[in-house]
Structure 1
Amino acid sequence: MPIESSAPITRRRVVALAAGLAAAAASPWALAQGPADGYPKQPIRIVVPFAAGSGTDAVARLIAQALGEALKGTTLVDNRAGANGIIAAEAVAKAAPDGYTLFVTTNTTHSANPSLMKSLPYDPVKDFTPVSRMGNLPFMLVVNPSLPVKNVAELIAWGRANPGKLTYASGNSTGIVSGATFARMARIDMLHVPYKSTPPAIADVIGGQVSMMFVDTAAGLATVEAGKMRALAVTTKERTKLFPELPPLADTPELKGFDITSWNGVYAPAGTPKPIVAKLNQALAGIANSASFRERSAKLGFDAFGSTPEEFAAFTVSELAKWKQLIQAAAIQPE
């Protein structure tokens, strides 16, 4: 039904999953019969930790629509922006573990916040049940077109020649950590301007109130294509197939080794019954690995793929360690 709005798995696994789904029904996201056949009996609320118009919100709406079709139910997108995703994460952690509250979130709430904050009202591991990783959302470095730079090397040179004049906006942890890491590695004096969400940060970069930002492609692509912002590079170590024309920041000598990747996944509250988690995983992994969903999400700059709950659980733990190291290396002090 329509939305009422208010580590990658192996090729063999993908083929096997696709074959199973095709045999079950004609719908590309239909489900085989299983132990949770009565689920869902009511609308599923999908909580998003960022505002409408953000990259995660755009991806979450695609997921919600596809999940509703797969489960033959209704999905409701619930944006709970603010406090770097903490408001939404706490709400999901305290929700009833009955399968009717899901969390489409990113490394902000489940990798970076434990190292960015002195204390959190939730535990990213103990308070959540991993359902499926859904893919990666590449970030790119964008600047206001009036800034006289055409590439990263020129940006670094301009920043060094004009100490204190470069400012960078952020609307999430990836933007925060990418900006601080860039400033440290490039040896540039920059001012950080934090925002509650990505859309107003983009607006101020376009308006010239802020020089630059690291933005997810889903949120920034349209303004880049319209010429309102200039994209210089991606934050991933390698070029992304979604935007092969953009070089990695790591290609610039001063930024060798720069590698920051944002990811998206779906969690349920801790204690959600295993049969429901299994049914949700079957649906979500099938969605993420389907050609139709991958094609639609690629237009947002999202690289979709699914996982098992076990794979996603192990990935969550490993990312906590990775982001802790990134934040410490960037000399970001917990708030």
Structure 2
Amino acid sequence: MLATDPGGDAPCDLKGIAPLLNDLMGGQIDMAFLPMAGSIPQTVIDGKIQGLAVTAKTPHPLFKQFPAMANMKGLEAMEFDIWAGVQVHKNTPEAVVNTLNKAFYAAVEAPETRKALEGSGNLVLPSRTPAELARIYLGDIERYRATAKSINLQVQSSTRPNHERPHRRFPARQTPGPASAGG
């Protein structure tokens, strides 16, 4: 989505969060889009990286001071949420799917589970039916497919270790946008 902005360059040549975080904290890259879950919130709280904005429509409950990118001039279309769901084989009987759906939502809503999830930066969303989740999932696929097509995104492979890969930087921007987040 950011790469569709004229002057934007969005390289994706790191494999995984750990190398990405190392390069961000070490100053080898200027910025990164990171999930606000796992160790990332504590890394921001500890000041090892600086948060600038969120890609969701609304601020994150742990970081209300970071604005939504969609509210920034020139980035109105920038919305990206990471969500997780449990998937089963397409031939799983509907009754089994519904039973599993209810069981998983009950587990997530259990106070100790909810507390653990929210404590690590995850947001617990309201329960949804399998059909509602399928619509969200398919809608996301179409949106990201259209974005990839609009920038002619091509799969690239490399056999070089991460430390040997060239790191490209974002060129200077003409409009206000995210600044360097490296620490």
Identify the residue that residue 252 of structure 1 maps to in structure 2.
Answer: 72
| 1:325–1:242 CA distance, 2 compared to 1 (3 A) | farther
Q: What CA distance in whole angstroms lies between the structure 2 residues aligned with 1:191 and 1:214?
A: 10
| 2:10 is equivalent to residue 188 of structure 1 | no
Paired residues of 1:237 and 1:257 also in contact (CA < 8 A): no
Larger relative contact order, structure 1 or 2 (CA cutoff 8 Å, min sep 6): 2
Paired residues of 1:195 and 1:201 also in contact (CA < 8 A): yes
Shift of 1:275: 4.2
Shift of 1:251: 2.6
| 1:194–1:206 CA distance, 2 compared to 1 (3 A) | same
- Identify which range, 251-260 or 270-279, moves more after superposition: 270-279
- Identify which range, 272-281 or 295-304, moves more after superposition: 272-281
- Identity of paired residues, percent? 25
Shift of 1:322: 2.0
Structure number having the greater strand percentage: 1
Question: Which one of 126, 148, 165 corresponds to residue 327 of structure 1?
Answer: 148
Q: What CA distance in whole angstroms lies between the structure 2 residues aligned with 1:307 and 1:285?
A: 9
Identify the residue that residue 33 of structure 2 maps to in structure 1.
Answer: 214
| 1:274–1:204 CA distance, 2 compared to 1 (3 A) | same
Shift of 1:188: 3.3
**TM-score scaled by structure 2?**
0.71
User: Which structure 2 residues correspond to residues 72-151 of structure 1 after superposition, within 5 A?
Assistant: none
User: Which structure 2 residues correspond to residues 221-260 of structure 1 after superposition, within 5 A?
Assistant: 221-260=41-80
Q: What CA distance in whole angstroms lies between the structure 1 residues aligned with 2:52 and 2:24?
A: 14
Shift of 1:218: 0.9
Q: Structure 2: which 5+ runs fail to align? A: 156-183
Question: Which one of 289, 302, 307 corresponds to residue 128 of structure 2?
Answer: 307
Identify the residue that residue 24 of structure 2 maps to in structure 1.
Answer: 205
Shift of 1:267: 0.2
SS in 1 for 2:83: strand
Question: Higher Cα Rg: structure 1 or 2?
Answer: 1
Task: Give the letter for the 1:304 counterpart.
Answer: V
Q: What CA distance in whole angstroms lies between the structure 1 residues aligned with 2:135 and 2:8?
A: 37
SS in 2 for 1:267: coil
| 1:332–1:300 CA distance, 2 compared to 1 (3 A) | farther
Paired residues of 2:23 and 2:29 also in contact (CA < 8 A): yes
Task: Give the letter for the 2:7 counterpart.
Answer: I
Task: Give the letter for the 1:205 counterpart.
Answer: L
Shift of 1:295: 2.5
| 2:102 is equivalent to residue 282 of structure 1 | yes
SS in 2 for 1:253: coil
Q: What CA distance in whole angstroms lies between the structure 2 residues aligned with 1:288 and 1:234?
A: 24
Paired residues of 1:242 and 1:298 also in contact (CA < 8 A): no
The count of corresponding residues between Structure 1 and Structure 2 is 153
Paired residues of 1:235 and 1:248 also in contact (CA < 8 A): yes
